[in-house]
Amino acid sequence: MDGDTVTALLTPGGTHAPHHNQALGLRFSRLGRSFGSPEGKRIVLQDVSLDVRAGEILAILGTSGCGKSTLLRTAAGLDAPDSGQVLIDGDPVRGIDERCAVAFQEPRLLPWHTLRANVAIGLPRSASASTGKAKVLELLELVGLDPFAALRPREVSGGMAQRASLARALARDPGVLLLDEPFGALDALTRIRMQDLLLDIHRVRPTTVLLVTHDVDEALLLADRILVLGRGSADTQEGSSILELIAVPGVRPHDRNSADLGALRSTLLSMLGVTGR
């Protein structure tokens, strides 16, 4: 994702005003997306239809290149589909949509700003100075960074930088939070802490979350439902569509050691082409 895209996502001023602390439903309706290539048109997504319930956490699994990030981009209004449409709270997405916020695999903080200033970048334009200051402090406390607010990205760990990135995404009170492998670059222990933090935040601010991940265990731990995206066969020229949409049994946080999740884990790994684990 290029710098202009990141700037557009992090700078409020899209086609809809943010909905404060309100989770919004999301609908993909017969979505299709293709891209040009030297070999001709490459179909990435084909006829994807899905309703995401307000306040749920939906994990999106699939092999590399199957269109997971493209699906998120269309939800954020960063990418226009060739066919079909995306609706948030019943209204079509047209251009970058301020009802959404995105957190990436890399924190993408501005290195010359403090953590406090980086979080403030996510505030809506309508926020007054006093309201914005209070909001940033609240978010820094929520992610456990208030003692480090005056530090710059180079002075903190990767996990702390990722927490600041998550706080920045939450600064506009998004109705839909789009997470594109946000913990993929972290070490195992930090990743577990960030997963726990996401669940804690969702309890306090229960927005709708779409989480792209390659980690089956992460999907099982965090999600209410898991979407498996992919092509029907490896040699098909058709784009990816929904292979399975699976409800995760129980309530979050799910018990990794439950028999139900163990069986579901094996099923998901098999669908992704991984056997014997």
**Residue type at 231?**
R
- What residue ranges of the chain have pLDDT lower than 70? 1-21, 233-236, 276-277
Burial class (CB in 10 A: 0-12, 13-18, 19+), 4: exposed
Q: State residue 256's pLDDT score.
A: 74
Contact assessment for residue 77 and residue 95, using Cβ atoms and an 8 Å cutoff: yes
**Sign of the four-CA dihedral 234, 235, 240, 245:** negative
List the CATH code of the domain at 3-271: 3.40.50.300
Tell whether the torsion through CA atoms of 101, 103, 108 and 113 is positive or negative.
positive
Alpha-carbon distance of 112 to 1, in angstroms, equals 21
Torsion of CA 143, 144, 150, 156, to 10 degrees: -90
| pTM value surpassing 0.85 | yes
Closest CA to 217 of 67, 64, 61, 102: 61
What crossing angle do the helices spanning 158-170 and 188-204 adopt, rounded to 10°?
A: 20
pLDDT at 21: 60
The pLDDT score that the predictor gives to residue 12 is 44
- Counting DSSP H helices and E strands in the chain, the numbers are 8, 10
Q: Report the SS3 class of residue 83.
A: strand
Measured torsion, CA atoms of residues 80, 229, 243, 25, in degrees rounded to the nearest 10: -60
Write down the pLDDT at residue 156.
Answer: 96
